[in-house]
Amino acid sequence: MVSPSSDASPVLRLTFLAVLVIALFLALFARLWFLQVLTGDRYVELADSNRLRTVVSEAPRGAILAADGEELVRNRPALAISADRQVLLDDAGDPRDEEAERVIARLGELLDLDTDEVINRLSSQRRSPFRPVPIETDVSQEVVFTVREQQELFTGVETETLPVREYPQQTLASHLIGYVGEISQEELLNPDFTDYLGGDLVGRSGLEQSYESQLRGTPGRRLLVVNARENVLDVQSDRAPIPGNDLVTTLDLDLQEATEQLLEEGIVSSRDIQRDDGRFLPSVAGSAVALDARTGAVLSMASYPDYDPREFLGGLSQDYADFLFEPESYQPLVNRAIAGEYPPGSVFKTASGAAMIEAGQIGPRGTRDCDAEFEVGGVTFRNWNRGVNEGPMDLADALKRSCDTYFYTLAYDTWQQEQAQDDPEEALIEVGERFGFGRSLDLDLPGELDGRLPGRAWRQAYWEANRERWCEQADAAPEGSVERELLSDNCQFGGAWRGGDAVNSSIGQGDVLSTPLQVAASYQAVANDGVLMRPHVGDRIVGPDGEVVEEIEPEALGDLGIDDQVLAVMREGLEDVLMDASGTGESAFDGFPLGEIPVAGKTGTAEAGPRVPYSWFVAYAPADDPEIVVAVNVEQGGGGSQTAAPIVRNILEHHFGITAAEDAEFEAGDEILD
């Protein structure tokens, strides 16, 4: 041992070394504790994601069928060329190496695509990284053979068979079926779509959307164990794809075809009708609904103009997108039967008549004079018949003649009665909702609108939302002008529900809005002894093995809550509309075998500002034992008996086997008949 006492003694210096060594080891222990014990969970996950690869195989989507089992939409196998993004592209989205570059160039040549376009499609972020990205679908056999025979020239390129949506009935029921599209980035982040992957198809509208969970099926999933070179070593789990269920609808294929055809022909032929003012009817668009009077099942539904769902397969072309969205096309994608909100006009009179009776203003057989006009607060409301007092009428007569003043006087009296109350229950809203207006009918199609039943609360809210703007406009209007007077009145008192509003609402004008489906449903309830059924398109869900998975039972939404006697009078009036010589719909049904098949219905001519009125007609038949309800609306189609009634008549004639749709003729009723 050497000089142990000196400052620089080896013992002291060895102690220093020992401390240093222990410090280094402590650092290692601390770091290991942190990695393995404190944050080990995270590394377990990372290790798993390292070694496990999920390979997804698509499940064939279920078919949608008409009530008779005829397919409306199904899958067709299509040949596709796909490529593995990880083989061909690097993380930056550029070709991984020169070989990848050559493969991409060859692929572009084969598919007649730009190299950039191939890379574009390959790197689409909407595509799942867990399966090959389809570069081109529906390629020819030759293309597939070219790739397969020279696989060494096409590293990372695969040929596959993908299920593609096919429409055996072409555009039939396109608004009902809807279409599918690739899932979007936003949807992928949405918790409702947790088990979806980029590139998955998802129902975008119609039944494809509302029955998505049934139609979709469960994709197959294989969990592979791979090593660092991505060689598959083992299959940890393997779940075969489960095909989606089929949806059998309530749609009557034959009636659906007829409805679409007759709606279009009726609309187009009405454009030849010249109005008294010399204008031809624009009849720009329209819709039709046929319901089963007992169950609420949708037998057919059509919206004109319509679109071709096949255009959505493999991406929408620019031309077609332009067509769909230009104003002259009148929004072909909209299903007007459920998403068109119109003033219902006179077809609303069943609901408003029932409301006046409920308010206690009159009994079912009580009468009011059908005067030529009615004055409220200095404003004159005229009857549609232009100047004749038709004498006293009860509800049945008022419906038959569509007498506006009958409803005006009752609505005004009801309004006065309600004004006297502190917190009035508004009869029109109460009863209107029972008839299915101003609310969703819970139809199994997306996009159904609620319409509107206006009243005091609605007016107040509407005023509060717009007051500021109205007041500014009033201030800006020229001093002393009528416009300024109107605006400043709105500005100050716009929140008041006035007699004039009540009078207007009673004939389905003013601020009342409804969809054709709501109109059809309200008459379905009248035809069905007062029970409003939930309209539905789905009838049953059938599994891939043919077993019925779920029956969609008819379901009552509620009761009209009116006396049997009131209902009887109402139905009598509706029958007279067509079957009495003075009924407003009589001329349109001239020649229809009403003796065999009695029909009840109602015309409607809804004013919409300066435009040509909206034409309405709704009917149920046979009137004594109703089985079908049909409602038709034609935008700017003129009088109800002029355009809509002939279409309804032809649909009924087709349904009852009187005249086939092919031989339909459109005899317009009188213009002025409301």
Partner 1 sequence: MEIGYGQDREQRMLRDRVQARWTSTYSPVRHLDPVLVLTALALTGIGLVAIYSAKLVALSSQDLPTTFYVTRQLIALAIGVIAMVLTAIVDYRQVRIYAPALYGIGLILLILTLTPLGTEINGSQRWIVIGGFQLQPSELVKLSVLVTIAALLHESKGAPHIGHVGLSLLLTLVPTGLVFLQPDLGTSLVFIWGTAVLFLIGGVQARYLVGLVVGGVGAVIVGWQQGLVAEYQLSRLTAFLDAADATAAQTAAFQTRQSLIAIGSGQFAGKGLFEGTQTSLSYVPENHTDFIFTVIGEEFGFLGASVVLGLYLVLVWRGLRIAILSKDMFGTLVASGIVAILTLQVFVNVGMTIGLMPVTGLPLPFISYGGTSLIVWFAMIGLLLNVHMRRF
| Binding site residues, partner 1, CB under 8 A | 1-3, 6, 8, 10-11, 13-14, 16-18, 20-21, 24-25, 27-29, 31-33, 35-37, 39-44, 46-48, 50-51, 91, 225-229, 233
Helix (H, G, I), strand (E, B) or coil at 666: coil
Q: Residue 403 to residues 352, 353, 386: CA-CA distances in angstroms?
A: 12, 11, 11
Cβ 15 to partner 1, closest distance in Å?
Answer: 9
Cβ 196 to partner 1, closest distance in Å?
Answer: 23
What single letter denotes the amino acid at residue 86? Answer: Q
Helix (H, G, I), strand (E, B) or coil at 180: strand
| Residue (170 or 227) nearer to partner 1, CB | 227
Reported residue count of the chain is: 674
| Residue (4 or 657) nearer to partner 1, CB | 4
| Residue (224 or 560) nearer to partner 1, CB | 224
Please tell me the distance from the alpha carbon of residue 339 to that of residue 605, in angstroms, as a whole number.
19
Helices and strands counted in the chain (H then E)? 23, 23
Beta-strand (E) ranges in 229-359? 232-239, 246-249, 285-292, 298-304
Q: Looking up tokens 């083989």, which residue turns up?
A: 87
Cβ 12 to partner 1, closest distance in Å?
Answer: 10
| Residue (40 or 360) nearer to partner 1, CB | 40
Cβ 82 to partner 1, closest distance in Å?
Answer: 24
Cβ 90 to partner 1, closest distance in Å?
Answer: 9
Cβ 5 to partner 1, closest distance in Å?
Answer: 12
Give which of 453, 254, 253 is closest to 351, Cα–Cα. 453
Please tell me the distance from the alpha carbon of residue 655 to that of residue 627, in angstroms, as a whole number.
11
| Residue (93 or 360) nearer to partner 1, CB | 93
What single letter denotes the amino acid at residue 513? Answer: L
In sequence order, what DSSP letters do the residues of 61-94 get, joined into one string? PPPEE-TTS-EEEEEEEEEEEEE-HHHHB-TTSS
| Residue (225 or 658) nearer to partner 1, CB | 225
Cβ 84 to partner 1, closest distance in Å?
Answer: 17
| Residue (24 or 482) nearer to partner 1, CB | 24
| Residue (3 or 161) nearer to partner 1, CB | 3
Give which of 463, 467, 472 is closest to 497, Cα–Cα. 463
DSSP symbol at 662 = G
| Residue (11 or 548) nearer to partner 1, CB | 11
Cβ 123 to partner 1, closest distance in Å?
Answer: 15
Cβ 127 to partner 1, closest distance in Å?
Answer: 19
| Residue (36 or 274) nearer to partner 1, CB | 36
Q: Looking up tokens 């149920």, which residue turns up?
A: 620
Looking only at the bridges linking them, the beta strands covering 246-249 and 64-65 are parallel
Cβ 2 to partner 1, closest distance in Å?
Answer: 5
Cβ 143 to partner 1, closest distance in Å?
Answer: 33
Cβ 113 to partner 1, closest distance in Å?
Answer: 28
- Burial (CB < 10 A; 0-12, 13-18, 19+), residue 604, is buried
Give which of 62, 289, 285, 261 is closest to 176, Cα–Cα. 289
Q: Which long-range contacts (CB under 8 A, 24 or more apart) does 46-51 make?
A: 51/225, 51/226, 51/227
Which stretches within 231-335 are classed as H helix?
253-270, 318-325
Cβ 3 to partner 1, closest distance in Å?
Answer: 6
| Residue (47 or 321) nearer to partner 1, CB | 47
Cβ 125 to partner 1, closest distance in Å?
Answer: 15
Question: Residue 530: phi, psi to the nearest 5?
Answer: 90, 5
Q: How many CB atoms lie within 10 A of CB 113?
A: 17
Q: Looking up tokens 């029955």, which residue turns up?
A: 211
- Residue 248 belongs to what H/E stretch? strand 246-249
Q: Looking up tokens 């279920």, which residue turns up?
A: 62
CB 481 within 8 A of CB 489: no
Question: Residue 102: phi, psi to the nearest 5?
Answer: -65, -40
- For the chain, the 3-state helix, strand and coil shares in percent, each to the nearest 5, are 40, 20, 40
Helix (H, G, I), strand (E, B) or coil at 542: strand
| Residue (153 or 226) nearer to partner 1, CB | 226
| Residue (13 or 611) nearer to partner 1, CB | 13
CB 224 within 8 A of CB 55: yes
Looking only at the bridges linking them, the beta strands covering 246-249 and 556-559 are unpaired
| Residue (37 or 465) nearer to partner 1, CB | 37
| Residue (14 or 268) nearer to partner 1, CB | 14
Written as six digits, the tokens of 631 are 């409602």
Question: Residue 368: phi, psi to the nearest 5?
Answer: -135, 155
Cβ 50 to partner 1, closest distance in Å?
Answer: 6
Please tell me the distance from the alpha carbon of residue 326 to that of residue 315, in angstroms, as a whole number.
19
